[in-house]
Structures are given as C-alpha cells and as structure tokens.
Copies of this chain bind each other. A is one copy, B any other.
Amino acid sequence: MDFEFDRTTSVTSIDGGFELDLDPGWVVGGGVNGGYLLAVLGRAVRRTLPGKPDPFSVSAHYLSASVPGPARVQTHVVRDGGRTGTARAELSQAGEARITALATFGDLAALPDEVRTTALPPDLPPLEDCVQTAMAPAETRRTAPVLDRFDLRLDPSSIGWALGAPSGRGVIQGWTRLADGREPDPLALLMFCDSLPPVTYDLGLMGWAPTIELTCHVRAVPAPGWLRIRHATTNLAGGMFEEDCDLWDSRGRLVAQSRQLAFAPRG
C-alpha cells in the first residue's frame, strides 16, 4: 500500500477478529480522530461482508477516547442478504470498548444512476483564496498531528475563530483532500466526515467536543479530486449540539452526509 490512509487503517485478521495499531499521526488533542476510527471500523466490516464493499450507513456510538497503539475490532454479521448486509463492529483497546457501531453495507456501483439532488454545494471561494491549515501555528500542529494528514483549505469566512473572531453562524467549510494525494473512496468518506475542527469553534467555544454518536451515509463513489466539505450546527442546547457534515465530490455530487451528536465544550 502506497498511501498512509490505507496503511494506517489496514487491519489483520486474528482469532476471529481484526487487529491493528492505531496510528499516532491521527491524534488530535488527547485522543485519536473519530473519523479515522470510523474508517478502521469500515475496513473491518468490508472484510466481514463479502460482495458488499461499500458503507451505505454506519452508526457509531463513542464510548471512551482511543489512544495510539494496539486495538482490536470485533465484527458480527447481523443479517446478510439481498442488496445490503448489516454487521455490528466494536473497537476496543486492552479489553476496554472504545466504539460500538452498526454498519449496513452494499455495492454503490450497483445502484441506479438517477440523481435528483436539490441540496446545493457550499459556495466556496476558489482554492487559492482559502486558508491552508498547513499554515497553522507549530504548537497547534504538534497537539493535532491529524492536520498533517490533509491538504485542507478553509473558507476564510468560517475561520474567524482562529483570529479570536468567530462568526457565530456555526459553519466551517472548505476544500479538502488527503495530503499524499490518495484519492477519496467510500471508506475515506467515513473519515472525512469527522475531519474538520469542531463546528463549535465557529460559535466561540474553543474546547474539545467529544462525540456521543456519529452516523454517516455514503451515497456515491466519489470522483477523484478535491472534496468540498461543510460542517454546520443549528441546535446547541442542553450542553450538546448536532454537527452535520456534507461532502461533495469534484463532479458536484453530494457523496456523503453525516450527523453527529456531541457534548459542547464548556466554553
């Protein structure tokens, strides 16, 4: 495998489950990025449901923060038949459950071509007018090495928080791709849907926002090239918020939609 996404999500079949070392390159703050973990689960489920290579819907409930190092993914087929198969998957470290998930997989290439999308892609400035996160302060990149996995170009209108002036809209958006040029595919979309800073930054809440649950629908095989990504929240209340992520491919198709529920930072 030539690309770091493939290398760091690769799982080995051992004793009826899968094992891997969670890679330190995906660390953000005190834990490992939740999107990366979702892709790891997806890779194990793909191996568990032959002939159904693609995630249609993956629902993950996050139980405790993952750390770099050995991890095990145990999968269990709940139903496999017809167009879809459904499996449970649990990621654990040293016997402690980190994430439990349900995944329904199928074959995106076998779906009909018809598209009747009424959603509109985010209106982004051209790439060259966006802000590269590679320009983030060295200290930020040290505590969030995950930033180095991406070539991420954020819309200047949604990064006021980086300068102490959050917009208050609850939107962070931009262009993204993997830093080493690996093209997006359905498993990578699982990862991209949790790849931006918490959207609560744009509300002026700069702390960690632990995910309670994240569900991602992968709707099409993405075309090669840049993805447009948009995170938004509209309902911060009771100490929790929802974060919706839409991912659009280079051909202008809405290829994935996710929603997570997370605890708001104690701003």
Which positions in A face B, CB cutoff 8 Å? 56-57, 59, 61, 63-64, 78-79, 83-84, 86, 88, 90, 97, 100-102, 104, 108, 111-119, 169-170, 203, 212-213, 215, 217, 219-220, 233-240, 242, 253-254, 257, 259, 261, 263
Partner of A86, one of B100, B233, B236, B259: B100
Q: Known: A61-B86, A63-B78. Is A235-B213 also a contact (CB below 8 A)? A: no
Q: Which secondary structure dominates chain A's binding surface?
A: strand
Q: Tell which of B78, B84, B100, B242 touches A78, judged by Cβ atoms closer than 8 Å.
A: B100
B56 touches A59 (CB 8 A): no
Asked whether A61 and B102 contact (CB < 8 A) given A56-B261, A242-B217, A259-B215, the answer is yes
Q: CB distance B240 to A56 under 8 Å?
A: yes
* B238 adjacent to A219 (CB under 8 Å): yes
A116: contacting residue among B61, B97, B113, B236, CB under 8 A: B236
A61 CA / B84 CA spacing, docked (Å) = 11
Q: Which one of B90, B114, B213, B239 contacts A104 once the chains associate, using CB atoms below 8 Å? A: B213
The 8 Å CB contact of A237, one of B115, B169, B263, is B115
CA distance A7 to B155 in the complex (A): 52
Please report the C-alpha to C-alpha distance between residue A219 and residue B104 in the assembled complex, in whole angstroms: 26
> Which of A83, A114, A203, A213 counts the most B-chain CB atoms under 10 A from its CB?
A213
Residue of B nearest to A237 (CB): B115
Q: For residue A213, which residue of chain B has the nearest CB?
A: B57
Contact A234 B63 (CB under 8 A): no
Asked if A235 and B63 sit within 8 Å, CB to CB, the answer is no
B59 and A213: CB pair below 8 A?
yes
Smallest beta-carbon distance A45→chain B, Å: 12
In whole angstroms, how far apart are the Cα atoms of A118 and B56 in the complex? 30
* Distance (whole angstroms) from the CB of A131 to the closest CB of chain B: 24
- Report how far A114 CA is from B203 CA in the complex, Å: 14
How far is A224 from B178 in the complex, measured between Cα atoms in Å?
49
Do A57 and B238 have beta carbons less than 8 Å apart? no
Contact across chains for B203 and A116 when beta carbons are under 8 A apart? yes
Residues of B within 8 A of A217 (CB): 213, 240, 242, 259, 261
In contact, B240 and A111 (Cβ under 8 angstroms): yes
Question: Is A59 touching B237 in the complex (CB atoms < 8 A)?
Answer: no
Can you list 27 A-B contacts (CB < 8 A)? Answer: A56-B212, A57-B212, A59-B61, A59-B213, A61-B104, A63-B78, A64-B79, A78-B97, A79-B97, A84-B212, A88-B100, A101-B102, A102-B213, A108-B238, A111-B240, A114-B236, A114-B239, A115-B236, A116-B237, A117-B235, A117-B237, A118-B170, A215-B259, A217-B240, A219-B238, A219-B240, A220-B237
